[in-house]
Chain A
Amino acid sequence: DAGVTQSPTHLIKTRGQQVTLRCSPKSGHDTVSWYQQALGQGPQFIFQYYEEEERQRGNFPDRFSGHQFPNYSSELNVNALLLGDSALYLCASSLVGRASYNEQFFGPGTRLTVL
């Protein structure tokens, strides 16, 4: 049973460019959350996708957008990259249920460097 997978592992872009990061959730999971972790900091919540719609969003500008596909995989897009977007981007999957909260399983992350 594959866990959460992310691609690519590493990525180098220049300011102003656009980037797309990909995440496949753990088998059986239907919800994907994205987090940004700057060096030396804890992860920050970007947004969460469920049933192909953005369900919750953190305090990130509209340059950050996402998508969820019918197979529950997800993409994170960042436009007009800034140096400050350099970070580890983590994807976590979970299964929405009747419980108020469900455990999240994390992928290995994509390390984005903006030059």
Chain B
Amino acid sequence: KNEVEQSPQNLTAQEGEFITINCSYSVGISALHWLQQHPGGGIVSLFMLSSGKKKHGRLIATINIQEKHSSLHITASHPRDSAVYICAAGNTDKLIFGTGTRLQVFP
């Protein structure tokens, strides 16, 4: 069993839909990351959180430390949100990655 599990693996949505991606982890963490990776390969950090909730524009990330679970929400999704979203557990200064969720948003 992977130390960081994401669901779903693939997700398609129509523009404007509300999207949720889930992440469960089994390791102790210092912080939980949500990252975005576009087809070219570059990774952009979206959120780093250790408790509660963070919001940036249309993106919201939540974490429940007791349940070892985090969610990434995208409100009013747009085709430019199409990318791979990766959850990563920050553990003693290294990151343990999930396998990612491939999101496609259609107009």
Contact = CB atoms under 8 A, between A and B. Distances in A.
B45 A100 contact: no
Interface residues of B, number: 24
**Interface band, chain A:** 20 to 34
Contacts of A76: none
A109 interface: yes
B42 A102 contact: no
6 contacts: A55-B93, A56-B92, A88-B41, A101-B30, A106-B35, A106-B42
The 3 A-B residue pairs with the shortest CB-CB distance, nearest first, are: A101-B30, A42-B97, A106-B43
Given A33-B95, A104-B45, A107-B42, 14 more contacts: A33-B93, A33-B94, A42-B4, A42-B88, A43-B43, A43-B97, A44-B97, A88-B41, A92-B95, A101-B31, A103-B45, A105-B45, A106-B45, A108-B41
Interface of A: 31, 33, 35, 37, 40-45, 48, 55-56, 58, 88, 90, 92, 94, 96, 100-109, 111
